[in-house]
Structure 1
Amino acid sequence: MARPRKKTNRDLPVNLYYNKDTKAYRYKDTIKKKWHNFGLDRQKAIKSAQILNAKLMANTDLIAAVMADHTLTLKQFIDDYREKVLPEKKLKKATLDLYKIRHRLIANALGDKPLNMITLTQVSDLLDGFSPRASNQTRACLIDLFNHAVARGLAESNVAAKTLKRNDEKQRKRHTKEGIKAIREHAPQWLKNAIDLALLISQRRCDLLNLRFDGIKDGYLYVIQQKTGDQTDAAWLKMEITPALQKVIDQCRDDVESPFLIHRKPDRKRECDSKEHPTQITGHYLSTEFKKARDTAQCYPEYSAKQMPGLHEIRGTSLKMYQMAGKDAQKIAGHASPDMTLNYLKGHEFAEWVEVSPDLDISEFTDD
């Protein structure tokens, strides 16, 4: 049992003490075992001690345990949010997948806690455990969750919004021509096809993986960019099948029956469960295999792990080469100019296709 308090301290909150000699009050932080001077004002000292006790004392965990029976937990609210809110956002699949990952991490860390009793410290500690980019993504998800919770009266304030955004300055270096060639030499044929297409048509990973043979019509390859296809007509690309592009398309045709230009025969049947077609390649798998080929090639020994360029950086190499060749890099990338008027409206079945000619000479990468 705890030792009885002295008569001079009996009327004071726990951890607050009065010194008859100095006529001052002191507060004992029982967690860090430190004393703090609370001055001569009795009422001010009592009020401060009460606030600190509520925040620091172990019995707050007991309160939280009781309150959990009377309020939603964060995990319960996340489940509700995913069922009712996310569908209304009409997000792309890649974005939904990112939300799913972040929500799972949040639920694992704080999911069992009552929604309206989650503290700023708990959120900050969670975010501090991630890299700057992952921290900012998780923070954005938490802010959106708490915005909806506050709007429904389930939380008093948005504690996530009070955290600070981390500096997420890009650290990845650019590829060198020698580096890309070395990676390509250590890549399986389907990955070589992906690299060659990335160099030639300057598209994002998701758009490369969505290229289909039935998108080739009347001498053109039709590409609707996933990221911006419903926002700007620049993302609807009609690519002329130049000799250079035809060469890569021919590379993609093999004895594996697939609707996708970039494809592979799956190693296991269970790989096919979440795919549109068994031969389809996911973005995660593409990035993982690219990393394996890059690490095997050992082409960037001077780079740190965070500086290592991935497949996405090949797009930058391609656009730079188009620019240096005096060609319209912005057009082939599908980037809209500031003065461009949107010709495509949601719900319409037409778009103004932007015709481009992918005629870059990539032989310095592909020729042995």
Structure 2
Amino acid sequence: MAPRPRNPGSKDLPPNLYRKTDSRNGITYYTYRDPVTGRTFGLGKDKDSAIREAVAANCAEVLKPALTTRLAEPVIEKGKTFSEWLVQYKLEYLEKDLSLHTARNFKSRIKRLEVHFGDMAMREIKTMDVAGYLTGLAKEGKANMSKALRSLLRDVFAEGIAAGVCDLNPVDATKPARAKVTRERLSLDLWKAIYETTTRPWLKRAMELAILTGQRRDDIRSMLFKHEKDGFLHIVQSKTGARLRISTAIRLESVNLDLSTVIKRCRDQVLSQHLVHYTKPNGRIKAGYPVTLEILTRQFAKERDKAAAAYGIALTEHPPSFHEMRSLSARLHAAEGRDPQKLLGHKTAAMTDMYRDSRGTEWIDVA
């Protein structure tokens, strides 16, 4: 719309400056009208002064964007929040063929991340935010948790970039926490002491299977008699999904055990489909029921402490758990000339090497 024509008496004035003469006293006053807001400002009676101020104001207005331009500026959207993106991410992640153990860990860890980053927009989460969170966990003594959450968070943003939810991955520039392993390795002497001391048949069977097969406690608990066929014990690892066939002829001279004999020992007077089972009823637990993981862990720890005291074996502040039989098995099989990588179900030799590391609990013989 074209501006209104100026009055003849205002043509000697700059734009937006107007004069008005008071009919009562004949004095002329000057006013300035803001072209954007429409507000009018009095500039007094001095014409030269009013002109200077009007020119300055007009220059300032030129530098300002017009009202229509301001209205037309695009609104910068923050995009999806971390919580909103996780709705889609969780659906896609959980569609994968995950083990029960992996799915449980995922849900626990993703919940931790959502509590901390949930309300933040994906595009606004910076490396400083991520580094501060992960470093805080490490300082609390949760270095392993910090590493696990970093890995998961990195994948969350990688998938977000692929979906167009964000443009950069703020986790890439962070460093994983250094986790110091504190748990003591299980020595062969301590294993033999526990084995000789315990009076629970199901714990003896579990220890025999663990030392011979090198499997995790979840897989040992899940072993069934029907899994033995054609001279092999068939195992599908709950954590990795690796499918193993372990020959029942496998033997460890260091403990004088072979798998075929151990499986036969599991067949006792109690009818059960599980290799490791309760032999006596206890409350709601009936004979033949599989041993729970909690009881397996707790009872092993009790027998460990009792055996260490009986045989005069010193334990550290972080004594070996049931899981350490997996490492001991790897070391014993390697010492007898077998490659423990296939037995443990590892995809890489580097992971097997971690289990073969005795962490200073064994003597190194030098010829």
Q: Structure 2 length as normaliser, TM-score?
A: 0.57
Corresponding position: 1:249 with 2:263: yes
- Residue of structure 2 equivalent to 1:48: none
Q: Report how far residue 112 of structure 1 moved.
A: 3.6
1:299-351 CA distance string (max 9 Å, x none): 6645232xx3222321232233334445565565556899xxxxxxxxxxxxx
Aligned runs of 1:135-284 on 2, under 5 Å? 135-168=146-179, 170-184=181-195, 185-186=197-198, 188-226=200-238, 235-240=244-249, 244-254=258-268, 258-264=272-278, 279-280=289-290
Pick closer, same or farther for the CA change 1:102–1:267 going to 2, 3 Å. farther
Contact 2:82/2:121 (8 A) holds in 1: yes
Equivalenced residue count is 258
SS in 1 for 2:233: strand
Pick closer, same or farther for the CA change 1:266–1:101 going to 2, 3 Å. farther
- Residue of structure 1 equivalent to 2:328: 317
Q: Report how far residue 86 of structure 1 moved.
A: 3.4
CA distance in 1, matches of 2:306, 2:122: 47
Corresponding position: 1:290 with 2:300: yes
Where relative contact order (Cα < 8 A, 6+ residues apart) is larger, the structure is 1
1:156-194 CA distance string (max 9 Å, x none): 321222221122354433212332234443584433321
Q: Report how far residue 72 of structure 1 moved.
A: 3.5
Q: Which amino acid aligns with 2:246?
A: L
Q: Which amino acid aligns with 2:145?
A: A
CA distance in 1, matches of 2:233, 2:299: 26
Q: Report how far residue 81 of structure 1 moved.
A: 1.1
1:116-149 CA distance string (max 9 Å, x none): 3334333223323142222111100000001112
SS in 2 for 1:159: coil
Contact 1:287/1:310 (8 A) holds in 2: yes
CA distance in 2, matches of 1:163, 1:212: 45
Corresponding position: 1:118 with 2:125: yes
Pick closer, same or farther for the CA change 1:119–1:310 going to 2, 3 Å. same
CA distance in 2, matches of 1:279, 1:312: 22
CA distance in 2, matches of 1:135, 1:168: 9
CA distance in 1, matches of 2:147, 2:106: 13
Q: Which amino acid aligns with 1:95?
A: T
Contact 2:81/2:119 (8 A) holds in 1: yes
Q: Report how far residue 70 of structure 1 moved.
A: 6.6
- Residue of structure 1 equivalent to 2:316: 303
Corresponding position: 1:94 with 2:105: no
SS in 1 for 2:131: helix
Match among 60, 79, 82 for residue 74 of structure 1: 82
SS in 2 for 1:240: coil
Question: Which has the larger displacement, 254-263 or 202-211?
Answer: 254-263
CA distance in 2, matches of 1:268, 1:163: 52
SS in 1 for 2:133: helix
Larger Rg: 2
Match among 60, 84, 89 for residue 92 of structure 2: 84
Identity of aligned residues (%): 30
Pick closer, same or farther for the CA change 1:263–1:146 going to 2, 3 Å. farther
Q: Which amino acid aligns with 1:290?
A: F
Contact 1:219/1:241 (8 A) holds in 2: no
Contact 2:83/2:119 (8 A) holds in 1: yes
CA distance in 2, matches of 1:239, 1:293: 28
Unaligned runs of 5+ in 1: 1-66, 272-277, 339-368
Contact 2:78/2:123 (8 A) holds in 1: no
Match among 112, 115, 126 for residue 108 of structure 1: 115
Q: Structure 1 length as normaliser, TM-score?
A: 0.57
Q: Report how far residue 285 of structure 1 moved.
A: 5.9
CA distance in 2, matches of 1:263, 1:84: 38
- Residue of structure 2 equivalent to 1:353: none
Pick closer, same or farther for the CA change 1:140–1:241 going to 2, 3 Å. closer
Q: Which amino acid aligns with 1:261?
A: L
Aligned runs of 1:19-98 on 2, under 5 Å? 71-87=79-95, 89-98=96-105
Unaligned runs of 5+ in 2: 1-75, 252-256, 350-367
